[in-house]
């Protein structure tokens, strides 16, 4: 039972942990009750885009396609020209409930935004300065809502504070008109909500705005951009490029991470195309569209802040880490390393020569044995050849002698035959003479 309880505790802890991680990962938008809220979503979507409440996926609030946008429920709106540019933000004209809202592209979820509606008694997202002007601070490129809740039966206009004749957006009882990037919602205007929506904020829009009704000032709101923090990792001797973002005069403030006496404080000021730096930075700094510091060193690591000289607002903060170059090797160490390498090379060369010499000796020994064996074989072959030649010569001599004897015997046989023939003739002659003598004797007798 105890192990079962422990397992359930672990499971509950994991669920709480993952739930907390998920909630913390969802962007948060805070507004006052019944104020206009903009839920940001910046994704390019060629398909149909729909906004829903997360726990009611079939209950569409607003949707857009390539041709138009539709507010399915009253009080929810998307801007078609912004949709085509990848700004799928949902505008809630009168926020009343805290909920997580989901934006879908086709059938894929692309954005979740948690809307927190605050009770007026707990404070407001907007604050006011000593001059009574409220200000709104948003992140760079987010949308901003400049609130103004006043009734206007005539022409309501929003302008930049110092350009009263240049209307950004305006409404009357029949319709609203606006410049690109600015919006007033007509049905909210009729209800007394004259809020101006800036769809994409940048540093050029960081100024004060005025809303008036038929020339009478109703609201003054200052728009501020949150400081942009950037982390830079770089190598020694590289250049650091600091974006200034605004045309107003700025100062560059450096705070070192080291305590070795490296300078901290204002290092440069920029006013238009004019650049002034501390003497130790004069040769390293140059100004184009940004401020460049050349030949950065490890000691230059630290925080660089771009600050508006007039308003004292921090525009950008760069946290820079310059990697130190590898320590150089002393001359004696280099010589020792070279000497060691040379000795190793000599030892390797000697070892190679010894191996080659031993291999050569073995090769010569093997070749010598082969040569000796070949010589012995050659001697044997020579002896056999000479014996065969001598035998052939003897056979030739015997054959010659046999032929001579045969010729002699033949000659002797011929001579005997001739002698026999001669003796035969003599015998015949003698026989003939004897016969004649006998015939004569017979005749005489």
Q: Are strands 99-105 and 108-118 parallel, antiparallel or unpaired?
A: antiparallel
3-state secondary structure of 320: strand
Query: Across 182-294, where does the E strand assignment appear?
Result: 182-183, 196-198, 208-213, 216-225, 228-235, 240-243, 250-256, 265-271, 274-277, 285-287, 290-293
Q: Is the pLDDT of residue 407 over 90?
A: no
The pLDDT score that the predictor gives to residue 4 is 43
The pLDDT score that the predictor gives to residue 345 is 85
- Considering only the C-alpha atoms of the chain, give the largest distance between any 2 of them, rounded to a whole number of Å: 219
Q: Which comes out higher in pLDDT, residue 111 or 14?
A: 111
Per residue in 370-383, is it b (16+ CB within 10 Å) or e — as a string? eeeeeeeeeeeeee
CB 88 within 8 A of CB 95: no
Give the pLDDT confidence of 105-128 residue by residue, as tens digits: 998 899 988 888 886 653 334 444
The pLDDT score that the predictor gives to residue 16 is 42
Q: Is the pLDDT of residue 251 over 90?
A: yes
Identify the burial level of 111 via C-beta atoms within 10 angstroms of its C-beta, where 0-12 means exposed, 13-18 middle and 19 or more buried.
buried
Type and span of the H or E element at 91: strand 90-92
Nearest-Å Rg of the Cα atoms of the chain is 60
Beta bridge partners of 111: 103
Q: Is the pLDDT of residue 153 over 70?
A: yes
User: In this structure, what token pair is assigned to residue 112?
Assistant: 């979740």
| Per-residue confidence band for 64, with pLDDT thresholds at 50, 70 and 90 | very high
pTM: 0.51
3-state secondary structure of 313: coil
* pLDDT > 70 in the chain, percent: 85
Quote the mean pLDDT of the chain. Answer: 82
* pLDDT > 90 in the chain, percent: 40
Beta bridge partners of 241: 292
Q: Which comes out higher in pLDDT, residue 401 or 445?
A: 401
| Per-residue confidence band for 138, with pLDDT thresholds at 50, 70 and 90 | very high
Give the pLDDT confidence of 161-207 residue by residue, as tens digits: 888 889 999 999 999 999 999 999 999 999 999 999 999 999 999 99
If you average pLDDT over residues 136-150, what whole number do you get? 91
CB 272 within 8 A of CB 280: no
| Per-residue confidence band for 263, with pLDDT thresholds at 50, 70 and 90 | low
User: What is the spatial distance between Cα 72 and Cα 78, in angstroms, rounded to a whole number?
Assistant: 10
Spatial CA neighbour of 76 closest among 236, 174, 188: 188
User: What is the spatial distance between Cα 194 and Cα 118, in angstroms, rounded to a whole number?
Assistant: 20
């Amino acid at each position: 039972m105890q192990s079962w309880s422990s397992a359930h505790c672990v499971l509950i802890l994991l669920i709480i942990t993952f739930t907390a991680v998920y909630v913390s990962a969802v962007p948060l938008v805070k507004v006052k009750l019944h104020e206009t809220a903009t839920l940001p979503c910046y994704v390019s979507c060629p398909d149909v885009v729909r906004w829903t409440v997360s726990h009611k996926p079939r209950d569409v609030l607003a949707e857009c396609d390539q041709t138009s946008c539709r507010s399915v429920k009253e009080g929810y709106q998307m801007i078609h020209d912004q949709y085509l540019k990848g700004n799928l933000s949902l505008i809630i004209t009168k926020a009343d409930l805290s909920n997580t809202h989901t934006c879908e592209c086709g059938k894929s979820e692309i954005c979740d935004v948690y809307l927190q509606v605050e009770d007026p008694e707990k404070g407001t997202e907007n604050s006011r300065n000593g001059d009574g002007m409220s200000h709104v601070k948003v992140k760079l490129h987010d949308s901003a809502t400049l609130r103004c809740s006043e009734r206007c039966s005539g022409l309501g206009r929003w302008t930049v504070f110092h350009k009263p004749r240049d209307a950004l957006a305006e409404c009357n009882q029949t319709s609203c008109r606006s410049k690109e990037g600015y919006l007033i919602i007509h049905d909210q205007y009729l209800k007394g909500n004259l809020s101006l929506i800036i769809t994409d904020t940048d540093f050029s829009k960081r100024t004060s705005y005025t809303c008036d009704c038929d020339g009478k000032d109703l609201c003054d709101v200052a728009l501020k951009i949150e400081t942009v923090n950037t982390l830079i990792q770089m190598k020694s001797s590289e250049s650091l490029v600091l974006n200034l973002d605004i045309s107003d005069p700025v100062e560059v403030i450096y705070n070192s991470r080291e305590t070795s006496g490296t300078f901290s404080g204002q290092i440069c000021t920029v006013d238009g195309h004019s650049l002034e730096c501390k003497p130790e930075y004069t040769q390293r700094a140059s100004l184009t569209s940004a401020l460049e510091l050349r030949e950065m060193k490890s000691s230059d690591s630290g925080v660089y802040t771009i600050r508006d000289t007039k308003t004292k607002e921090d525009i950008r903060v760069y946290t820079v880490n310059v990697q130190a170059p590898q320590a150089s090797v002393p001359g004696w160490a280099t010589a020792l390393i070279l000497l060691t390498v040379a000795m190793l090379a000599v030892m390797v060369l000697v070892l190679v020569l010894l191996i080659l010499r031993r291999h050569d000796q073995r090769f010569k020994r093997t070749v010598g044995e082969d040569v000796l064996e070949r010589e012995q074989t050659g001697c044997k072959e020579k002896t056999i050849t000479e014996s065969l030649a001598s035998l052939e010569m003897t056979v030739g001599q015997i054959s010659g002698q046999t032929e001579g004897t045969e010729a002699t015997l033949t000659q002797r046989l011929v001579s005997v035959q001739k002698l026999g023939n001669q003796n035969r003739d003599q015998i015949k002659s003698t026989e003939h003479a004897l016969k004649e003598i006998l015939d004569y004797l017979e005749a005489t007798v």
